[in-house]
Amino acid sequence: MAIEAGRERAVYAADPKHSRGRLYDEPVSPTRNAFRRDCDRIIHSTAFRRLAYKTQVFIFHEGDHFRTRLTHTLEVVQIARSLARALGLDEDLSEALALSHDLGHSPFGHAGERALDQCVGAYGGFDHNAQSLRIVTDLERRYPDFDGLNLSWETLEGLVKHNGPLTDRAGAGIGRYKDQGVPGPILAYDRKQPLELWSFASAEAQVAALADDIAYDAHDIDDGLRAGLFTLGDIAEVPIIREVLASIDARYPGLDHGRRAHEVVRGLITRMIEDVIAETNARVLALRPHSSAEVRTADRTTVGFSARMAEADQGVKGFLYPRMYRHTRVMAIMGAAENIVRDLFEHYQANPSDLPLEWSQDLTPGDEGSRARRIADYIAGMTDRYALIEHARFFDSTPELR
């Protein structure tokens, strides 16, 4: 199908002119709407710049062409804006959510998150989604009138709920939060500015979540091929990849390997985007929402893959999990990275004076929970290379992570 260049604003799109506002009132900008202003604040934040040297799958010094958290984020932004434009949604809100969705990730990707979660397990654990909220509502210190970035309600709601509701109507955790409950930082902020944790987020947030999935599938295939973890022949066992390859080979017989690999990535992204547009249009026809509020209270997501594409998405992830994320080479590096994070946490616990002054001041003596959270915040903000530098400063042997 052909993707429209754009269309009139959908009646169920978020409208910056009717935003629920910010926690701290500010004068309206004469040149930017509320959601565009959010995008700009995120781009200029310190946390956003640090994404350039945070691991996606491969450590930064394994090669210049592998994705980092920053390049992944930019790819998610591009896909999210394309989807929002085709569906008549607010592009700026979709962009703001795509820009901010990974701000809370620690150094060394999910390995660093696992290590931090273990380190602060007795004090509520570590959750990168909750950490993203902490960054934009507290940890960024740029403005004279408030901590954080003071983003609009719709951006904060979408940041927290882009993967769906966190609780039921009674406030009990659901999904990934069913057993351990919703992270404390999210609940604490929700008490100040309720984010309706029981409902879906806006269609723009749902677009950002799908864009993240599409970007992950496509660029992890690209990076895995580049790293030699598998071949095009290997991944052709996944039905949708086999279909894309057949289409490429029919149109470009004898195409060289490099261009063939890029065409696979491009073809997969195109098929997934087109599927989301078609499926979302069908769901909208069935739901007939007249406002963004009706999207939030629907009984399922309004934006989504078709059943066939959802199965294809799981097929790609099912291939990548053992062949890439659990590959012995990747696991060895990530195991060493977890040890680096644990070493740093234990060192700062025992020697809080080694923290920078702005992180060590105002710590309450004897308040182990507060100190653990402060240390976790500091480590989570580190880039990969800064974590390695700090480790080498305190320990005689630092692994090279190669």
Question: Which pLDDT score is estimated for 2?
Answer: 44
Spatial distance between the Cα atoms of 55 and 238, rounded to a whole number of angstroms = 26
Which one-letter amino acid corresponds to residue 159?
L
Spatial distance between the Cα atoms of 205 and 272, rounded to a whole number of angstroms = 17
Question: Which pLDDT score is estimated for 110?
Answer: 87
The band of 3, judged by pLDDT with boundaries at 50, 70 and 90, is very low
Spatial distance between the Cα atoms of 390 and 396, rounded to a whole number of angstroms = 11
Sequence ranges of the domains in the chain:
16-110+117-192, 213-328
Inter-residue contact 267 to 244 (CB < 8 Å):
yes
Q: At the topology level of CATH, where does 16-110+117-192 sit?
A: Hypothetical protein af1432 (1.10.3210)
The band of 284, judged by pLDDT with boundaries at 50, 70 and 90, is very high
pLDDT of 62 above 90: no
Inter-residue contact 360 to 353 (CB < 8 Å):
yes
Q: Take residue 246 and report the two structure tokens written for it.
A: 């057949």
Higher pLDDT, 284 or 180: 284
pLDDT of 167 above 60: yes
Q: What percentage of the chain carries pLDDT values higher than 70?
A: 96
Spatial distance between the Cα atoms of 371 and 363, rounded to a whole number of angstroms = 6
pLDDT of 57 above 80: no
Q: Take residue 272 and report the two structure tokens written for it.
A: 């997934």
Question: Which pLDDT score is estimated for 109?
Answer: 86
pLDDT of 34 above 70: yes
User: Given the structure tokens 């978020």, which residue do they identify?
Assistant: 14
Inter-residue contact 296 to 196 (CB < 8 Å):
yes
∠ CA 179-159-333, nearest 5°, is 70
DSSP 193: S
Q: Say whether 68 sits in a helix, a strand or coil.
A: strand
Angle formed by the axes of helices 257-287 and 307-320, to 10°? 140
Q: Count how many residues are written for the chain.
A: 402
pLDDT digits (tens, 9 = 90+) for 316-367: 999 999 998 888 888 888 899 999 999 999 999 999 999 999 898 887 777 8
Q: Is 40 exposed, middle or buried (0-12, 13-18, 19+ CB in 10 A)?
A: middle
The band of 1, judged by pLDDT with boundaries at 50, 70 and 90, is very low
- Residue 385: count other Cβ atoms within 10 Å of its Cβ: 14
* Residue range 77-92: mean pLDDT, rounded: 98
